[in-house]
Each structure stands twice: as C-alpha cells, then as structure tokens.
Structure 1
C-alpha cells in the first residue's frame, strides 16, 4: 500500500465508517481522491458473524466504496483503552499514510468503543506531528480532523450532500449481511439493534439531515476547529 492518502477514516469496527460517512467516501473516491479506512478491531465480540466473515464483508464494502486501502490494527474489541500502546499504533498508521484529513467517530455514542476510538484518534493526531515522539518515524501534521456520527447524532457543523452517492452507501452497508440482516432458524443468530431495521434508520437519518439543506440525503460532521474555506 502506498503512502499519501487524501483522507484516512478510523472506526472501532468494520462497518462504522460506512454507517457514518459511506456516501461522503464514495463522493471523494469517485472524484479521484485517495481514501482509506483503518479499523481498530476485528469486531471479535460481535454477537453475530465471525472475524472471518466480517473481514470478507469489509473487503466487499471496500470495493463498493472504491477505497485506496483498508487496514486493521487488531486491537482488542471492547479493550480500546486510552493507553500508550494503542495510541502508538494509531499514530504509526497516520504517519504511514500521511493523510491530509482524518475522520473519527463523534465522541458521544451509545457504544463505548466508538467513544474510545474518538479519544484515541485525537491523541494520535496530536502525537503524529511531534518530531520527538517516536523519532524513528517521520512526523506528520494532519490538516483537519472531523468527527462522524454512528448511532447518536448531535448538531452538525458541516453537512455533505450525498444524494447522488446514497445508493452506493447502502450497497456498501448491505455487504455486512451478518450484522444487518435478520436471522432465520440459525441457532447462532442473536437479535441486536443492528438487525432490527437499522439500515432503514440510517437512511431516514440521512434523509432528515438532507432536508435541512433541501437535498435528498446528507451526512453530518463536527469539527473542534473552525471550518476554513478559501473564498474566490
């Protein structure tokens, strides 16, 4: 995998990035931008599916999204503690791919791993620019860090019109059959919030946000820094 991503998105589990910003990803890859996803865990604690099936689903979704790369740090699911080794792993990924922009989950969410991922990425973005932090690798300054919504939604600072990309977003999400499809007679199937019409709720959320700017579908983001634009 080559260096030099335009955008690097972090998620605690495979499917987090697709839920929160799948349309925005497609919008950028379709325009020729190099976009990558780094999943922190293999979601080995998920009630349905296996690590192997989840990886197959992530690969299929990555193809739909047109990603330049996808990696997995193999950190422990439900063990994303804010500790130096976890921060170091994410920092290394940032320095390796040198993204201009980094995305992470919003820091408030019903899933503790999403909250932890948000905090870890913020720590890593800061460390990545420090020349004396792990001096064996080249420091890298991320231009901007944005936060996407997975389950809980706050007021967005920035919205992206994904009307023309929404169908591909849903196609990417539908790749995760073990997570979003209802089971039948399989004794291993466990009802969860994800397989109780979750995708319909994602679509409704995107449509509701789009209504605020009179577009079909939109995804929202938050920034801790002011949003900078260059006026013509």
Structure 2
C-alpha cells in the first residue's frame, strides 16, 4: 500500500498526521511526503527566502527520516502564493500519477491559511482528474482509493475517522522537533494561529482528546472524501 501526504509546508505533515505516517511506515507501507512549498515565508525577516527554504528543506528531510517516509519531495510552489488554477491542478494531477498512491492525505479546505485552502482544493480536484485517460500529463492515469483530510481545531473540521497512534506520540514529537528553525517563528505567530502556542504540548493534547474518543492514548483525526472502508487508516 502506498500513502501519499501532500502538504503545503514543511512541518505540516508532522503536526497533523505524523503518527499515522509513522504507523503506516512501520507496517511496511510505502510513504511519500510531498511538500507544495519549501516554507520560505517562515522566517522573521533576518534571512532571505532562499536561505529559509534551504534550512526548511533540510529539516523536512530529517523529520521524514524520523517518521519512516521512503521519499520526501518538494513540488516547487511558492510559499504563501499557491493559487487554484487549471495549470496548478494539472501539476498536482501529475504528481499524484507519478506516485499512484492508494490513499492521499491533505489539508481540510476550511482553514485560515490560504496555502492550506488552495492545496486542499487542488488535491481534491486532482484526485478526480488523475484517473481520466484524456487528461494528459507526463505520467499515466492512476486511481487512488480515497482522500483523507486533516484539519486545524480553529476550523469547522469534524473528523469521522480517528487513527489510534498510541505508542507513536514520542516519535511524532521528535519529528516536529526537527523543525528547529520554526520554534521562534511559530511562537511569534501564536496570536495568529492559536495552536502554535506551546506547539508540541498543544499537538499532544489534541491527540489525547481524539484518543479518548476511541479508547486510545492518542489519535489523529481525518475526514474522508468518500465514506468507504477505512482499513488502510486503522
């Protein structure tokens, strides 16, 4: 089984679905993490975008190794400037076809961050179009089983699929800690994104809340595009 996580920025995969990624990797599934951007806006102004992007790419590769991802890739979109367009939709279609995943993880569309919104819509559209033979891209059509959305507690996100990640809490924390450049930046932006106040404590607390709903120590929440059998995420 192949799981493809398409996320807007480095650290999104770790924060929202790191436990699920690690769990799949440990059971022998192929896991790919595709970052739309290198997160070059994630700085406080003392470095250039190129310098920030280089650091964040390195951090993302380190965190992917912690989680057990087979491949960590970057799709060359610009941070803060992802737009929903036909051209970009076809770019994501081709990425999806390149990896031909069984399931895709991505952002829930109702989200404060415009990149998360755009990524969600592009991935949803690409999922529909990836199987169409007359949609021409560099790679042949594929037909993923489903898309699972993860979201922020500040949105209307109400997950119906909770994945037990008990035993993966420390590994998820270790993956998040790889993004050392973001600690100060996310703390400074706590007033914008409330879940970034005391990031790791907040993430673990949210996972514990989801866990109580399924009788587990910790869980991550997803909303499937189609209500199908969910054995791949159990």
Q: What is the TM-score of this pair, normalised by structure 1? A: 0.88
Q: Distance in 2 between matches of 1:196 and 1:221?
A: 22
Q: Deviations over 1:135-194 (max 9, x none)?
A: 6531111111110124535221100110111110110001001112x48xxxxx981227
Deviations 1:211-232 (A, max 9, x none): 11221100000013113258xx
Structure 2: tracts of 5 or more residues without a match: none
Higher mean C-alpha displacement, 29-38 vs 44-53? 44-53
- 2:105 is matched with 103
5 Å-filtered alignment, 1:1-232, equals: 6-48=2-44, 50-134=52-136, 137-150=139-152, 152=154, 154-180=157-183, 182=184, 191-193=188-190, 196-228=197-229
Counterpart of 2:167 in 1: which secondary structure?
A: helix
**Structure 1 unmatched runs, 5+:** 184-188
Question: Offset at 1:196?
Answer: 3.3
Q: Is the 1:109–1:151 Cα contact (8 Å) retained in structure 2?
A: no
Cα gap change, 1:8 to 1:135, in 2 (>3 Å): closer
Q: Deviations over 1:9-58 (max 9, x none)?
A: 10010111111100000001011100001100111111347111101110
Structure 2 distance, partners of 1:209, 1:190, is 24
CA distance in 2, matches of 1:11, 1:136: 22
Distance 1:91 1:71, change over 3 A: same
Structure 1 runs of 4+ aligned residues shifted over 6 Å read none
- Give how far 1:126 is off: 1.2
- Give RMSD over aligned pairs: 2.0
Matches of 2:137 and 2:151, distance apart in 1:
34
Q: What is the number of equivalent residue pairs in this alignment?
A: 220
Residues 1:55 and 1:136: Cα distance change in structure 2 (over 3 Å)? closer
